[in-house]
Chain A
C-alpha cells in the first residue's frame, strides 16, 4: 500500500524502501509492483480475518437472533437438525433452544468490537504517552516509564479482572479494563521509535531549519512510530480477543443478554455430557480467529521488519 501512496507524493516524501521510486509508467507495471509475491501471501492470510469481520457485520443481519425467546421444544438439538419452524440448526441448539450458529455470529460482533476498540484506545494512549516520554524526556519520561514498570508487575489478565469486577459487566467496561492493561506495550514501542527518530538526519535537519516542536512531532516523529505500532497491534489484538472471552467466561465481560464466545462456552459447561456442541462451536470460532490473526501478524512483521 505504501508504494501506491508514495508514488502520488513529491519525491522528498517518498519512502526510503524505494518501492515507489523506480520508474514504471502505465497500469500493468504498477499492479505488478503492488502485488509482488510477498504481499500476495500476506493478503492471503488476511482473508480469514476479513471473513471474520464480514461475519461479524453481516451475519447477525442474515441469521435472526433474539436473546429473550426460549424454544423448549428445540432444546439441545445436535448440529444439522431440521427445526419445527423449517430452519436448520447447523451448529445445534443450546439448553433453551437458541441456535448456536446465531450465537456464534453475535459473539463475533462482541469480539470484533472489543478487539478493535481496545486496540484503538490502548494504541492511542500508548502513542501519546510514548511519544511525549521519548520526545520530552526528563521527569515525564521517568514517571511514565516507572508507571509502565509497575503495571507490568501484574499479570495483565489479573488487572483486567480487578477493573472489570469493580466496574461491573458491560461491553464498554471490558474495553476500558482491557485498554488500561494493554497501553504499556504500545507506549514502550512508541517511545523507542521516537527516541530513534529524534536522532535521524532528516529530523535534525528539520530542527536546524527552524521547525518547532509541534511540526517535528506531527510531520516527522509520529509518522515514524506508526509502522511499529501496527505490528504490535496485530500481535495484541489476538491477546485482547482472548482476554475478552476469558472475562466473559468468568461472567465479568458482556452482560448476560448479549451472547459472546466466552459466555457461550461457559453456558455449555454444564451440558458436556449430552450437548458437546454448545461449548465447542464458539470456542472453535474463537481459536480459528485468533490463530489466523496470529499468522497474519507474523507475516506482516516479517514483511515490515525483515531483521526480526
Chain B
C-alpha cells in the first residue's frame, strides 16, 4: 500500500497546481516543494524501516488481478533493483522543483506536468507487471515532451518532436516484444512469476522476442547509434528539466534491461550481450571524443552524460555479480553527478550570459562555490576515488573485464579520455583570467541554488565513502537476477 501511495502522491501536486489559480509565485513554489518532498520522505522511510529486508523478491507489494483471462494485473512492489532509482526519482524531482528558478512563465503548469512525469518515473521502478511497466514508462514520455517543447530554448520545437518520435518508436517496438513475451508464456504478465519461471520459452522464441525489446530499450538509453535525438533535447531544455531528463530517463532503458530483458529472456539476450558491451564501450569512447570537441559547456556535459551511460551497459552485459552490482549502482551515481553538472551549467550560464567555454574563465575566483563545485562535479564524472561514481564504474569495468576482456580494457581507457576532456574544461572554465565583463560582478550561487546542489554533493561523497549503504540493498536482488540467468 505504501508503494502505491508514494507513486500516486504527486497526483495531489497536479491537482493543487491546477487549483492554485490566483496564488502568487512564492506560494506556488513552496507548495510544489512541499508536495515533491512527500514521496522522498516516504521512500526514506522505506529505506530506514525496510531497507534491510529489500531482498530479491519485491517488498511492500500490492497486486490485484485486472484482466484475469490474460494474466494482467496491477502489481507494484519495491526490490533492491528498483529501489535506488525509485529514491532517486523522488529526490531529483524535488531538486528539479528547487532548481526551477529559470522558469518564469506558466509556472503552475510546469510543476503540474513535472508531477505527472514523477508518477511515471516512480511507477516504472516499482512496477512488477509488464503492461504496467510499459504504461508507467510511457507516462513519463509526454510530460518530458511538453517540458522541453514549452519551456526550452529557441530550438525546443524540433528537439521535442525528435525526442518524442524516437522514444515512441523505441517504446512501441518494446511493447510488441512485451506483449509477445506475456502471451507466449501463459498468458502471464507478472514479472515476479515470469522471473521465477525463468525462461520457459524455447531459445528461438526468446531470441525473437529479445530483439524488439533490446532495440526499444537501447533507443531509450540511448546507445550511441541511436543517440542523435538526445543531444538537442539536453541542450534545449531548461535546467530543472535537465535534472530529471539526464538523471532518470536514460535509466528507464537500462533498468528495463536489468529488470526485464536479462532475467526474463536469459537465453534470448545471451547472444546479444557481447554487442551490448560493445555498445557500452562505443558510448564511453565516442562520448569522450565528442565531448572534447564541444565549444558549448552544456553540450559537453550532455555528451559526458551520454558517454558514461556506457558503463551501465557494460556492467549489465557482464552477467556476473560484480558487473551487475556496478550497473545498478551506476544508474544512481550517474543520475547524481549529471544532475549536479547540469545545475551548475545552468547557474554559470545565467551569470555569464554565455555557455561557450572559450568565453568563460576564472569562475573559481568570482564564484568560489559554483566554480569549486564544478571542479568537484568534474572529478566525480571522471571517476576519481572517494566519490561514488568511482565505485560503480570500477565495479562495472571489473565485471565487464571478467566476461569481455577487450571491452573491459577499452572502457578503462575511456576513463582516461574522460579525465582529458573534463580537466581541459575545468582549466578553461574555472581557472585562468576572467575574460567576460559580465562575470566581473557576478555573485556566487545563492542559498536556493545551493539547496539544490548540496544533497547531490553530499550523496556523491557519502556513497563514495560508504558504498555499502546502497550495495547492501541491491545485492540480494542482483543475486536473484543471476539465479534467473544461471550465472555465478
Decide whether A and B are members of one complex. no
